[in-house]
Chains A and B, each alone.
Chain A
């Protein structure tokens, strides 16, 4: 696997700086996490378009809504747990219900916040955001995809939630690849079984599992569902009809995330394909390294291989 020239957060800072030059609406709001979000680089270029609100996520989201009402397109940032769980009602009332335009960036999603422990691990943020009306939920896996997605957001309206693995340099796609929001990306072709996943850590594990399956003569398809909402239903149904089993793998719990979204599509379309959701069970996170937690929560390649062995005859 290639390594990109910068990590994800630097790619974000570079892209938003570039967008800001031609779009006077774009603002960055942070919650005393500028050093974490990597956006000091953006602030150097556009100090007047950067607002560090301090440690007040609820006020930050409301301020963003007010700025949107005055014609701006604010991006707001906190760690994923606080950008979702902590301010769900502000996102709903001040953002969504008031029909404002805001992109919420939640960094270190899921187990990637492991060293900070259970308080910081967001295994439910997608579920919270997915149940709020009209949201668009994105989890880009590499800097190439992140850049493409970021450029599309200000062209649209509404409330966006973007999960950001801020320190990753993993590159899965060639430079310059474009990723239309709402359309799944086929990252590996295969005809026997499909793994539907998204985000850096899970894409990596899914590809690892696919290679291991290949050695056994099983051709695994890997779908990068970087737009979790609205879901690319056609890609799911095509996979269900063209391969013999479907597995979802997510850095989240198995409730109301990617796996649930895929299950809804399969069930409502009478797809009886063997199916398994992989993700954290009904429990909170705990302190630990990413590898440890992914293994413990059945989010790694081993878990995919075990599920594939059960599902395939």
Chain B
């Protein structure tokens, strides 16, 4: 049975739990892509806690919604959402990157229950998601493909090949999220390969695009419900204005946090901080 959080405070609590478990998982592997993982937690909460149609007991249902996390290095956020939604035991989250384990830092559909597409080479999830969306249409299946791109990932030309393709094939079952956390590995996107107006870029490619606060669960939920109710033959893009490293005082808004080590001391601080937010520290 899928848990649904209709109350915004509960949904934010779910996001905080995803955030804490992501940190815990990355601590177990001595570090990880902390910045981009933490900027995704509200989106994960809204997808798995509110808007998506899925059933962990029936992963092969042809009509269910699917997620392609094209910024595949942020697997831990998705793994936490999946574990907390019943796809696999929560205890397994601390096996991140372990030899022979099922949770590699980059998403692998053939290893992890609930992962819908293998990703990790940036830009490629865009195309596989478009293919899945087209396949669903060709087979007259219900369900949507939720594609999650990083803002740095928009440097990849393949994303824009996909954008032209999605528009041409009228993939209104493809919902693209851009995690606009303003930074990429080496620094601010504005200093490396300037993007400026992401919403405008997708609009120019023929998408219906909006920008919302990516840490406001209500804003994300309303935006998703709006695009899902509007099946007009136009692919959709929701730009999530986010903060890299969000929700953990050690990382929020900092630079140089794309991939960091998490020491035992940092983990103890995180436990205290998240306990104060009401997260049950297991």
A59 interface neighbour in B110, B116, B161, Cβ under 8 Å? B161
| Residues A63 and B134 in contact, CB atoms below 8 Å apart | yes
**Quick check: is B243 within 8 A (CB to CB) of the other chain?**
no
| Residues A64 and B131 in contact, CB atoms below 8 Å apart | yes
A67 vs B139: C-alpha distance when bound (angstroms): 10
Residues of A within 8 A of B162 (CB): 59, 62-63
Q: A48-B138, A56-B161, A69-B117 are in contact. Are A62 and B124 (CB under 8 A)?
A: yes
In this complex, the interface size class of chain B, counting residues with CB under 8 Å from chain A, is 20 to 34
Interface of chain A residues 75 through 102 with chain B (CB within 8 A):
89-90, 93-94, 97-99
In this complex, the interface size class of chain A, counting residues with CB under 8 Å from chain B, is 20 to 34
Q: A58-B161, A62-B158 are in contact. Are A94 and B128 (CB under 8 A)?
A: yes
Residues of A within 8 A of B187 (CB): none
A90 vs B162: C-alpha distance when bound (angstroms): 13
Interface of chain B residues 104 through 138 with chain A (CB within 8 A):
108-110, 116-121, 123-124, 126-136, 138
Residues of A within 8 A of B130 (CB): 59, 62-63, 66
Looking at the assembled complex, report how far the CB atom of A62 sits from the nearest CB atom of chain B, in whole angstroms.
2
A71 interface neighbour in B108, B124, B135, Cβ under 8 Å? B135
Looking at the assembled complex, report how far the CB atom of A100 sits from the nearest CB atom of chain B, in whole angstroms.
9
| Residues B121 and A69 in contact, CB atoms below 8 Å apart | no
A66 interface neighbour in B120, B134, B157, B164, Cβ under 8 Å? B134
Looking at the assembled complex, report how far the CB atom of B150 sits from the nearest CB atom of chain A, in whole angstroms.
16
Interface string of A52-70 (1 = CB under 8 A from B): 0110101111111111111
Interface of chain B residues 160 through 218 with chain A (CB within 8 A):
161-162, 164-165, 168-169
Residues of B within 8 A of A71 (CB): 135, 139
| Residues A93 and B120 in contact, CB atoms below 8 Å apart | yes
| Residues B121 and A65 in contact, CB atoms below 8 Å apart | no
Pairs across A and B, CB under 8 Å, 10 listed: A51-B134, A54-B164, A62-B131, A62-B158, A63-B130, A66-B135, A69-B128, A70-B135, A90-B124, A93-B124
Sample of 7 further A-B pairs with CB below 8 A, known A54-B168, A59-B162, A65-B131: A51-B169, A59-B158, A69-B132, A70-B136, A93-B124, A94-B121, A99-B110
Chain A interface residues toward B at CB < 8 A: 48, 51, 53-54, 56, 58-72, 89-90, 93-94, 97-99
